[in-house]
Structure 1
Amino acid sequence: MCCNRSRILEVRMSETTRVAFIVNSLRFGGAEKHTLELFNGLDSSEFHKDLIYLKREEHLLDQVDFDQGKTYCGDFDKGWDISGLLRLANRIKKSKPDVLVCVNNYPLFYGYLARWIAGTHCRIIEVFHSTELPKKEDSKMRLVYRHFFNRCDGIVYVSQNQREYWEARGIDSDKGIVIHNGVNTDYFFSKYSSEERITIRQRYGFSFNDFIVGICAALRPEKKHEELLEAIQKLKSDGLDVKCLIIGDGPRRTAIQQKISSLGLEHDVSITGFQKDVRDFVDACDCIAIVSHQETFSIAALEAMAIGKPMVMSDIGGSAEQVSGGVNGYLFPAADTGALAEAISKLSDSEHRDKLGKMARKIVKRDFGLNGMLEKYAKLFSRGRTGT
């Protein structure tokens, strides 16, 4: 009986696709959250899953469903880490994946080399979330990354604009496909009563009738919170009574608080600090702004839209694939605070923004749902298993 069970298990394992995800870390970020959605959400009867994160940043570790597969931290140091590479190669050799899923350029660099050292022949799929590499990456490193990108078995872009951007810069067009990010609309929806929304508003010094613009993003330089504050100050100078709720925390909190004071917005802007669950805070706002200068296909935008909030977004990356002006929000040229202020002002009418908010949720349910995204990745990962 024991031998029969063992053979049954072996048959089942042979019928599943072994997938190993490599991500830089489990810090708070869109690419990291997206990777966890794949790891947690892909059917474990079809996929045997490993999750490998290179650096010990574990803010999202409690969101890992450990019943879905094994997790492993590579404990990589900053910069070039040969010891970490050898540990990664050993892990790949033991897990024997059919598909190695590398999330962004740094894991691809190490994943490609580790596969070679391990002597395996698994497919490498790059899931790419960036439209531009960090400016600190010099031209030589960009050429190195392009070399590895063009030797992948497939590249997943998260927006069509992103795909066109990179293929125009020498990435093999035959390798790329677009799979838009998706969110769980059964989890992200407007479930809070008016009384609950009022309670949150009052906690941060706002009233039921205030027009509140929210921004849900880590307080980091690239998120450009200061530009939103400048737009808020301009609108108030023009006579529009508008408030702002900053949802999150981060290294620029002190600088942002100083900016609030310098603009005289102490009674108009509040910062919530870190929130593990942002849904009720987003729901307490009337619209959500994303004003970054670098954004590829914002998951935070999809979450806000699923909750029924119209968006104001800088017209970069794939934002035009998410938001249509006057339909579910408005776009504006990045860094143009005047245009940002104008876009916000268009949502000051409650009937208009409610109409756009309803359409925002409808669009997410139709085009950017989690299940649809998982189906596309499952089809991609199952295709042409190679083994070791």
Structure 2
Amino acid sequence: MRLLQALFFPPEQPGGVSSMIPYLQERFTSPRWEMELFSLPKRIRNKGKEEIKFHTFDWTQYGESPVVQKYIQTYRDYLWWTRLRIHKPFDLIHAHHPIAGLAMRSVFPDTPLIQTLHSSYERELILNGKIAEGGPEHQFLVSMYRELEYCTDQLMTVSKSFRGYMAPYVDRHEDIRVLPNGYDERRFKPIPHENEVAQLITVCRLVPAKGLDVLLRACAELKKQGVEYVLHIIGDGPIRPELEKMAQQLGIYNETIFYGYTLHPEEFMPFFDIFVLPSRAEAFGSVFAEAALSCLALVGTEVGGIAEQIENGVNGLLVPPNDPVALAEALAGVIADPMYRYELARSACERAKANYSLSRAVHELKKMYLEYANK
């Protein structure tokens, strides 16, 4: 069977897609399976010119918005690039971004199409202050869910929480399949170690949706209480200068290290003790699974897919979003008790291996691919 994995970003870009899709290829290399990856290069801009029409709504009512205009132009570019680069047929296409899925359906209308939604673009834009809730951009983006439902043979997402989020925007939310990402265990090599001072690590794009302002305030509270720690922030983004200034103002700059973007943080994640990320929203939260497989204690917020990964007090700790005091209390507890921290980390690792292995994801995908290719 010839399979195409249609991405938006190239697979080396950070995020949930890059944590799984590139590692699928070797699992699908056999006489029975052949898989290719396809994405839109960053250099392709403003190439597409064709008129865009959707089946379930009229996008032009939102067309004055620059955000909507950019989205539509990117769709045109993806269509242009797809027609230019793909000439041979595939037995099935699995898309991992709305633009990729819509373009593939347009270019290959007779090929079975599976669409996985890994995150909520509109929710991120709202939390990051880029668009207004209920505004034209928001209405346009949530309208895309019904369009995708109309155009694809199977709509999928990565958590039950995100399926519930989509329910108001589609006709048959109960038909959406849930398949969390899978992670190749060989990438993660937990290392026994003893850090005299607890080492906290977070890995994310530096945007308001990730709640790093809450984390810095929580760390300031820890310092006020005399709790020793070092916070390592891996990632880059538009609010990095603001966060660095905030760390200085809170008096925790000496305890905080900003690394910038790193391609493979899992290579040195095992040397830390506690993974913490107080996100304001997460469809799944791939980095929690990666931290668990690195055998770190987990501290996260009760939102989206994070709350599906962590059972509070069993394999990590959950706190309300936007609550630096509660976050500081949770962190203080795992910092003060290394044995408790170890038990949380061990439970997190065991659960992640059981629920989020790449082998499990591959098994489920193969069954589904055969189901739709044989229809």
Q: Is the 8 A contact 1:74 1:88 kept in 2?
A: no
2:20 paired residue number: 34
Give matches, 1:190-269, under 5 Å: 190-191=190-191, 194=193, 208-269=195-256
2:324 paired residue number: 337
Any idea what the Cα deviations from partners look like across 1:333-375, whole Å, max 9, x if unmatched? 1212222112212212111001111111111111111111111
Matched, 1:360 2:352: no
Matched, 1:21 2:5: yes
Find the aligned partners of 2:311 and 2:339 in 1 and give their Cα distance: 18
Aligned-residue CA RMSD (Å): 2.5
Find the aligned partners of 1:279 and 1:143 in 2 and give their Cα distance: 36
Find the aligned partners of 1:25 and 1:132 in 2 and give their Cα distance: 14
Q: Is the 8 A contact 1:54 1:76 kept in 2?
A: no
The CA deviation at 1:123 is: 0.8
Give matches, 1:69-108, under 5 Å: 78-81=70-73, 82=76, 84-89=78-83, 91-92=85-86, 94-108=87-101
Give matches, 1:86-235, under 5 Å: 86-89=80-83, 91-92=85-86, 94-116=87-109, 121-131=110-120, 133=122, 134-135=125-126, 136=131, 137-173=137-173, 175-191=175-191, 194=193, 208-235=195-222
Any idea what the Cα deviations from partners look like across 1:130-151, whole Å, max 9, x if unmatched? 2463444331343244122233
Give matches, 1:238-387, under 5 Å: 238-348=225-335, 349-385=337-373
Q: Is the 8 A contact 1:181 1:373 kept in 2?
A: yes
Find the aligned partners of 2:266 and 2:143 in 1 and give their Cα distance: 41
1:45 paired residue number: 31
Find the aligned partners of 1:125 and 1:255 in 2 and give their Cα distance: 40
Q: Is the 8 A contact 2:190 2:294 kept in 1?
A: yes
Find the aligned partners of 1:265 and 1:97 in 2 and give their Cα distance: 54
Q: Which amino acid aligns with 2:83?
A: A
Q: Which amino acid aligns with 1:341?
A: A
Q: Is the 8 A contact 2:145 2:169 kept in 1?
A: no
Any idea what the Cα deviations from partners look like across 1:293-333, whole Å, max 9, x if unmatched? 12111221111101111111111111122111111111111
Which deviates the most, 137-146 or 182-191? 137-146
The CA deviation at 1:49 is: 1.8
SS at match of 1:138: helix
Q: Is the 8 A contact 2:16 2:181 kept in 1?
A: no
Query: CA 1:186–1:158 in 2, change beyond 3 Å: closer, same or farther?
Result: same
1:205 paired residue number: none
Q: Which amino acid aligns with 1:56?
A: K
2:62 paired residue number: none
Find the aligned partners of 1:384 and 1:182 in 2 and give their Cα distance: 21
Query: CA 1:95–1:107 in 2, change beyond 3 Å: closer, same or farther?
Result: same
Query: CA 1:381–1:321 in 2, change beyond 3 Å: closer, same or farther?
Result: same
Q: Which amino acid aligns with 1:37?
A: Y
Query: CA 1:41–1:254 in 2, change beyond 3 Å: closer, same or farther?
Result: farther
The CA deviation at 1:110 is: 2.1
**Runs of 5+ in structure 1 lacking a partner?**
1-16, 58-72, 198-207
**Runs of 5+ in structure 2 lacking a partner?**
49-69, 132-136
Any idea what the Cα deviations from partners look like across 1:188-221, whole Å, max 9, x if unmatched? 1213x64xx7xxxxxxxxxx31122211123233
Q: Which amino acid aligns with 1:126?
A: Q
SS at match of 1:24: coil
Question: With structure 1 as the length reference, what TM-score do the two structures score?
Answer: 0.79
Q: Is the 8 A contact 2:148 2:155 kept in 1?
A: no
The CA deviation at 1:386 is: 5.8
Q: Is the 8 A contact 2:47 2:80 kept in 1?
A: no
Any idea what the Cα deviations from partners look like across 1:37-56, whole Å, max 9, x if unmatched? 33443344332222110242
Find the aligned partners of 2:299 and 2:367 in 1 and give their Cα distance: 34
How high is the sequence identity, in percent, across the aligned residues? 23
SS at match of 2:2: strand
Find the aligned partners of 1:74 and 1:376 in 2 and give their Cα distance: 36
2:61 paired residue number: none
Query: CA 1:40–1:127 in 2, change beyond 3 Å: closer, same or farther?
Result: farther
The CA deviation at 1:263 is: 0.7
Q: Which amino acid aligns with 2:91?
A: D
The CA deviation at 1:171 is: 4.4
The CA deviation at 1:32 is: 3.2
SS at match of 1:95: coil
Q: Is the 8 A contact 2:114 2:153 kept in 1?
A: yes
The CA deviation at 1:175 is: 3.4
Query: CA 1:44–1:25 in 2, change beyond 3 Å: closer, same or farther?
Result: farther
Q: Which amino acid aligns with 2:361?
A: M
Q: Which amino acid aligns with 2:22?
A: L
Question: With structure 2 as the length reference, what TM-score do the two structures score?
Answer: 0.82
